[in-house]
């Protein structure tokens, strides 16, 4: 797997200050994509142990809320094994951090059906995530002030609750809601 960049202080790809990993490679090629430079699987730099250490170190400060995976396409078959290993390590070493993932794939139609039908990396990655923002970016449904997504067709899914309940449960920022009461 290759990656394009690591943003160590990202405030637009999930709640709080986050570390964001932009992976290389995407077959969706959404019209007016936010990151078309990430489409090429060979773009950027190779992801390896040194990169993983850099991400873990960037996640350690208490003010960092979590990790966000985006790109490119984290759920491309070429990217899943490395990301599953990275998220497993984050869960083990920094269990208080949340892990978000942006994907052009549909949660029910693509991600859940991939689980069990591949090398196991889709299911492994999915089960380690807290939130998935799913769906291809749609220029026709673009709204510039949507929170954490670019178009109305995209959903913010609470993966843990969805897997537990056996149905898709949308994410709500409970901490923010509690603070507004």
- Please report the pLDDT score of residue 10 as a whole number: 96
For the domain made up of 2-180, give the CATH fold. Answer: TIM Barrel (3.20.20)
- Please report the pLDDT score of residue 121 as a whole number: 82
Cβ-based neighbour number of residue 115 at 10 Å: 16
- Please report the pLDDT score of residue 166 as a whole number: 92
- Please report the pLDDT score of residue 150 as a whole number: 84
- Please report the pLDDT score of residue 34 as a whole number: 72
- Please report the pLDDT score of residue 125 as a whole number: 92
Alpha helices in the chain (DSSP H): 49-59, 80-93, 113-114, 121-128, 159-165, 174-180
Phi, psi of 170 (to 5 degrees): -75, 145
- Please report the pLDDT score of residue 27 as a whole number: 85
Domain ranges of the chain: 2-180
Question: What pTM did the predictor assign?
Answer: 0.91
Mean pLDDT by 10 residues, the chain (181 residues): 97 96 88 79 95 98 97 91 96 98 91 71 91 90 88 92 94 59 34
User: 30 and 138 in contact (C-beta within 8 Å)?
Assistant: yes
CA distances from 11 to 18, 20, 48, 106, 155 (A): 6, 9, 25, 24, 19
């Amino acid at each position: 797997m290759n990656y394009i960049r690591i943003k160590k202080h990202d405030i637009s790809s999930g709640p709080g200050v986050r570390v964001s990993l932009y992976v290389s490679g995407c077959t969706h090629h959404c019209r007016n994509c936010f990151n078309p430079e990430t489409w090429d699987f060979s773009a950027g730099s190779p992801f390896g142990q040194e990169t993983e250490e850099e991400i873990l170190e960037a996640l350690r400060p208490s003010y960092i809320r979590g990790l966000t995976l985006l790109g490119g396409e984290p759920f491309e078959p070429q990217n899943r094994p490395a990301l599953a290993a990275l998220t497993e390590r984050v869960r083990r070493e920094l269990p208080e951090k949340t892990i978000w993932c942006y994907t052009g794939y549909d949660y029910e139609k693509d991600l859940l059906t991939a689980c069990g039908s591949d090398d196991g990396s889709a299911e492994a990655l999915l089960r380690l995530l807290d939130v998935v923002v799913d769906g291809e970016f749609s220029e026709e449904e673009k709204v510039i002030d949507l929170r954490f997504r670019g178009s109305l067709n995209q959903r913010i899914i609470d993966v843990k609750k969805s897997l537990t309940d056996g149905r898709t449960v949308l994410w709500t920022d409970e901490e923010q809601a509690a603070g507004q009461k």
